[in-house]
Structure 1
C-alpha cells in the first residue's frame, strides 16, 4: 500500500519516542506510530500488508511524518504485537489525548479493550527489551575503554583460521536451517513437559538459538538429538564462534561510523551510552508499574521519574549509580511478577471479537 492510501485509512496515529515520554530535549526527533485498516483484498486475498515504515513519498495527508522514523501498522499486525506485550506497541493505547494526531471512533473502540492485551508476558517483554538496552550499554562501554587503551583494536576483521576453520564456515542460511531443525526437535520434545511448554510460550527460544552460540557443554546433547557427525558439530561450533566475533567486529565498525555526534560526545565524557541507558531504566520502571496493576504510563512526568531519565540521557548520572539502579529495578520487577494479579495470557477471545467488529464496520462488510 502506498503512503497516501495508508494515511487515508489510518484510525489512530500518535507521537512516540522521547517526546511522548516527556524526556526529550530541543534536538529530539518527532516520531509517530499508528494503526490502519487496509482494503478487503489485504484480508481475504493474496495481497499482504503489515506496516508502512517509509515516509519519503511527498504524496501524503500528513506532512509531519515525512522522513521520520515512524510506523503505521495493519490492525492485525498491531493486535498480534500487542498480545505479545511489545512495549513499543502497547503504549499506543495509553497515550494522553493531546498526543494523538488521529483518533477515530475505531481507534477509540480499540482503546476501550486495552486492558485485555495485558498479561504476565509483560515481565518477559519489558525485562527482555531492558536487558537488550543495557547489553548495548555494556558492549559500547567495553569498546570505548578498549579503544582508548588500544586504538588498533578491531582494526582487522577476525580470521576464520583463528577459529579452527581451515575450510569455509557454514553459510548463514545453512546455520539457520540447522538451528530451525534443532528448535523443532526441542518444541516436539516439550509436549511431554508442562514446564517446558510454558517456557516456550514465554521465551523466544528460536531467537536465542540464532543469536548466541550453543554452549560447548551442550554440544554432545545436540549431536545426539540431531544425529550429527563429529565433524559437523565441530564445524558448527567453530562457525558460531567465528560469526559471533565477526558480528561484533562489524557492529563496532558501524558504531564508530554511525553513532550520533552528540551522543558520542556524552559517551566519551561519562563512559556509557546515555540514550540506551535511559531506555533501560524507563522500560524496567514501566514493567513494574504494569505488573503492579497501574497500567501503561508513557508520560514519565506523571510517574515522577522524567527528570531522572533526562539526567541519565544527559550523562549526569555516574555509570556505577546507573548499574546499581538497574539492578535494584530488576529485583523489584521479579517481586512484582511474583505478586502480580495480571492473567497469564491476554484475553484473545475479546481481542479477536473486537478486531473483527472494527474491521467489518470500517469496511461495511
Structure 2
C-alpha cells in the first residue's frame, strides 16, 4: 500500500495547507475511489475526498462555498454545510467519506471524529432510493455500452432516453413539491442529418431558481456525455469501462444493504474483494462483451436483498431533522468561534 500521508505532504498537495478555505479548517480527509473500496490496481488513480468548515462569511455574510476541487490530484473537499445536505439524501459518493477504515483517513480532527460519531443521524431508508438510483445508473451504462454496436441508432436513442429519465428521478424526488412547470422528453424523427431519430424536449417553467434549472440540465447533459464517451473508446477501453461499471454496480448494492440491515457505512469491501476484483478483471464477461448469467444472478440476488432490507430496516424513513439541526449548529458555532482549532494538529 502506498504511503498516502507522505504523499499528502508533498508539494503537489500544498493547496491543502495554503488555501484559505482549507488548511486547519479541514476536519476530515480520506481516500476515495478504488483505494477507498479496496479494489485498486497497480495503475489506479489516487483520489482524496474531504470536508472543510464553512467560513464565517458563508454562515453570516454573503459569500457562498460548496466544494474545492483540484483536478491535478483528483481531490474534492466539500464544505460542511454542503456535505450535510448530501448526507441527508444518503448520497453514495459522500456517505463513503464516513465509512472508511481508520488507516484510510489522512486528516481527522476532533470535530471530524465527532462527525463520524454522529453519522447515524444521517442514515435512513432513503439509502435504498439513493444507492439504488446510482446502481441503476451503472446498470444503464452497462446496457448502453453493450448495445452500442449491437442495435440500430434508433434503439440506442431509446437507451439514452431511459437513462435520462431515470437519472432525473433523484432530482424529482428532492424537488417533489415543485410545481413551477414541467418537462417532457420524447423521441421523434431527427433534425440532425447524422441521426435517424433523436431525443426532443418540451419544457415550460415559471419562476424557477436558476441554480435548480442548471442542476436539472446538468443531470441530463452528464448522461448524454457519458454515453458519447463510451462510443468513442476503443475495444480494449470499452471492456475495461464495462467491467468497472459492473463492479461498481454490485459494490453499491453491498453498501446499501449494510446501511439498511446494520445501520453501518462500510466503504472498504474487504470481505467481498475476491468477487469485486473478479468482476473488475472481466471474470464474468463473454467474448461478445455481454455478461454471463452468473453475473446477472448475483445482481438479482443483491437487488432482492436490498428490497427486503428496505422493507424490514429499523432505520427511520427520514432523518431526525431536529437532532441534525442541533449538531449542525454546534459545528458551525465552532467554525465561527474558532473552536475547531481545539485538538487540530494535523500540520
Tell me whether 1:97 sits opposite 2:102 in the alignment.
Answer: yes
Tell me whether 1:362 sits opposite 2:335 in the alignment.
Answer: yes
Partners of 1:50 and 1:74 within 8 A in 2? yes
Equivalent-residue separation in structure 1 for 2:135 and 2:116 (angstroms): 25
Where structure 1 has 5 or more consecutive residues not aligned to the other structure, the ranges are 56-66, 159-182, 184-198, 217-236
Could you tell me how far 1:99 is from its partner in structure 2? Answer: 0.7
Which is greater in Rg? 1
Q: Give 1:341's match in structure 2, choosing from 306, 311, 314.
A: 314
Q: Give 1:290's match in structure 2, choosing from 244, 259, 280.
A: 259
SS in 2 for 1:273: helix
Tell me whether 1:22 sits opposite 2:41 in the alignment.
Answer: no
TM-score by length of 2: 0.70
TM-score by length of 1: 0.66
Q: 1:250 to 1:100 in 2, by over 3 A?
A: closer
Tell me whether 1:307 sits opposite 2:322 in the alignment.
Answer: no
1:36-56 CA deviation, whole Å, 9 max, x = no partner?
11321111111111101235x
Name the structure where helix makes up a greater proportion of residues.
1
SS in 2 for 1:240: strand
1:194-273 alignment, distance < 5 Å:
200=173, 213=185, 239-240=200-201, 252-257=227-232, 259=233, 264-265=235-236, 267-268=238-239, 273=242
Matched length = 274
Equivalent-residue separation in structure 2 for 1:317 and 1:204 (angstroms): 42
Partner of 1:4: 19
Could you tell me how far 1:347 is from its partner in structure 2? Answer: 2.1
Where structure 2 has 5 or more consecutive residues not aligned to the other structure, the ranges are 1-14, 158-168, 189-197, 203-216, 286-290, 339-347
Could you tell me how far 1:74 is from its partner in structure 2? Answer: 0.8
Could you tell me how far 1:238 is from its partner in structure 2? Answer: 7.5
Tell me whether 1:108 sits opposite 2:113 in the alignment.
Answer: yes
Q: 1:205 to 1:363 in 2, by over 3 A?
A: closer
Partner of 1:39: 55
1:164-183 CA deviation, whole Å, 9 max, x = no partner?
xxxxxxxxxxxxxxxxxxx9
Equivalent-residue separation in structure 1 for 2:227 and 2:125 (angstroms): 35
**Aligned-CA RMSD value:** 3.5
Partner of 1:226: none
The more displaced of 304-313 and 345-354 is 345-354
Could you tell me how far 1:69 is from its partner in structure 2? Answer: 2.3
Could you tell me how far 1:248 is from its partner in structure 2? Answer: 8.3
Tell me whether 1:51 sits opposite 2:67 in the alignment.
Answer: yes
Partner of 1:316: 283
Partner of 1:13: 29
Partners of 1:35 and 1:72 within 8 A in 2? yes
Q: 1:353 to 1:238 in 2, by over 3 A?
A: closer
Equivalent-residue separation in structure 1 for 2:314 and 2:121 (angstroms): 13
1:186-241 CA deviation, whole Å, 9 max, x = no partner?
xxxxxxxxxxxxx95697999xx76x72699xxxxxxxxxxxxxxxxxxxx98339
Equivalent-residue separation in structure 2 for 1:41 and 1:97 (angstroms): 33
1:114-125 alignment, distance < 5 Å:
114-125=119-130
Partners of 2:48 and 2:75 within 8 A in 1? yes
Equivalent-residue separation in structure 2 for 1:215 and 1:118 (angstroms): 39
Equivalent-residue separation in structure 2 for 1:69 and 1:248 (angstroms): 21
Partners of 1:14 and 1:100 within 8 A in 2? yes
Q: 1:202 to 1:46 in 2, by over 3 A?
A: closer
SS in 1 for 2:106: strand
Tell me whether 1:328 sits opposite 2:301 in the alignment.
Answer: yes
Q: 1:24 to 1:130 in 2, by over 3 A?
A: same
Equivalent-residue separation in structure 2 for 1:275 and 1:46 (angstroms): 42
